[in-house]
Structure 1
């Protein structure tokens, strides 16, 4: 029973890592926390829902349209909002994305109402079919796919940042955006590209959200919290740390739910607060300990 909770928590952690990926990536490149992150994921979920419900497009095929659209939105977000608001200080971009999240949530509510929706009916039995590993342990097809997608996305981003000229330009811009211009790197264009990539991952996370659960116009807030907690547990800005943070959060929630019905959220928040306490009050020793645990994992 306990082993099953760990397995299911690991798979749930894949979803948390996927939804935290874009948040962590944007913070690592630009030092910006996108408060509208969850709202954009829900926006992508509704876009896939409209394609499936009104036009009969499979959600998997719909990603071919939604992901590029989310990338374009990310580019526009950086050039029109984040780039301009960053000139006024660190707090202004956060407030700008907070206001943007309110606008997105209310526009979705006005258009679709408060009813919950899901993409599960549009992917058939794939939403609930599973492999039976033992009499007590089942691994859902969809959960396994989401976990594999999280590993693939994080691994691809890691290789992209370390092996490609654009990836190295993004890393250089993250280190010193004021100096990279001396070597011919356009920091504004690089940041816009990085935001487009982050928003494409948000679109993928929105698809996972819509397929594995229900969503409504105001579902972005709770999922932003999960993404933030996973990113902080794993180390904000660390891609593989984000995967580890998602797994730790998912396992903690599932074990907490096994102990007490209210323990799902309490255990997850408790682990997050414990890690945050370690980072804030243990200083360099706490960061060194957490970094060592990540490397050994």
Structure 2
């Protein structure tokens, strides 16, 4: 049981990383980016190409891929999100959904359906571990992921609270019109925020490619995990994203111990339970009607 809890917590570190960008964009621009998972796969393929064709280590490749992802985020905001946001609240969601379909199919056309992984380019790191008391083994890559999650989320929190640009992002998120009155360019701030979010997406794509295999259509499941972790932890809360990722990882690990297919079912059940509680808190008329109905049937 202790081993299951440890492995679930470490898995939650990956979920926190991939949910970070989704939660950050929602907190800043109130936009749910449905191309989030597909863009993570783009970063994974970028690292794989650099490693496979040019022999560049995935960690060094991040120095190339992450700035490219920041540029993608800037362009995404300027040419898709900014324009679609002028319509109703549903239009950005539909735009990013269409973008995800385009990305998935372009990747399939370019790379085919074969699965890839960065594990062959990591050497011993892909399988090496530390042995803990009680015959428990902790993967070094898994520890690296949860440490990265804490550093990224903590760094973003520090950036938003201590730096002028971070405070400008927070001000724009609260009231863009009032922020404009004090000289804040909301258009520029949103583009920078999206670029930052895409850098975290690039890191998530790298970790996915290191810990597992991926293909052109792997973005959908990653978006689902990111969305579940963000909702469990409270959409828009950075530290809540870490908690949500760990809760999701623990639910999946415990579910896998109960049933062969419980890995996914356990996570989905916890997500639905948290979502139900958030939508209908205790004491709401809805739950009161259900309780009264159950009493009358008894």
Q: How does the TM-score come out when normalised to structure 2?
A: 0.94
- Identify unmatched segments of 5+ residues in structure 2: 285-298
The corresponding residue for 2:173 is: 174
Matches within 5 A, 1:203-222: 203-222=202-221
Q: Deviations over 1:43-82 (max 9, x none)?
A: 0000000000000000000000000000000000000110
Matched position secondary structure for 2:177: coil
The answer to whether structure 1 residue 252 and structure 2 residue 271 are counterparts is no
The corresponding residue for 2:273 is: 274
Report runs of 4+ in structure 1 exceeding 6 Å deviation: none
Matched position secondary structure for 1:139: strand
The corresponding residue for 2:145 is: 146
Matches within 5 A, 1:16-165: 16-165=15-164
CA distance in 2, matches of 1:260, 1:73: 41
- Please, what is the CA RMSD of the aligned residues? 1.0
Residue correspondences, number:
284
Larger radius of gyration: 2
Q: Deviations over 1:217-238 (max 9, x none)?
A: 0000001000000000000000
CA distance in 2, matches of 1:14, 1:86: 32
The corresponding residue for 2:260 is: 261
CA distance in 2, matches of 1:163, 1:179: 20
The corresponding residue for 2:287 is: none
Structure 1 residue 38, shift from structure 2 partner: 0.1
Matched position secondary structure for 1:199: helix
CA distance in 1, matches of 2:278, 2:247: 16
CA distance in 2, matches of 1:87, 1:266: 38
Q: How does the TM-score come out when normalised to structure 1?
A: 0.94
CA distance in 1, matches of 2:41, 2:229: 18
- Identify unmatched segments of 5+ residues in structure 1: 286-297
The corresponding residue for 1:197 is: 196
CA distance in 2, matches of 1:137, 1:10: 14
CA distance in 2, matches of 1:239, 1:41: 19
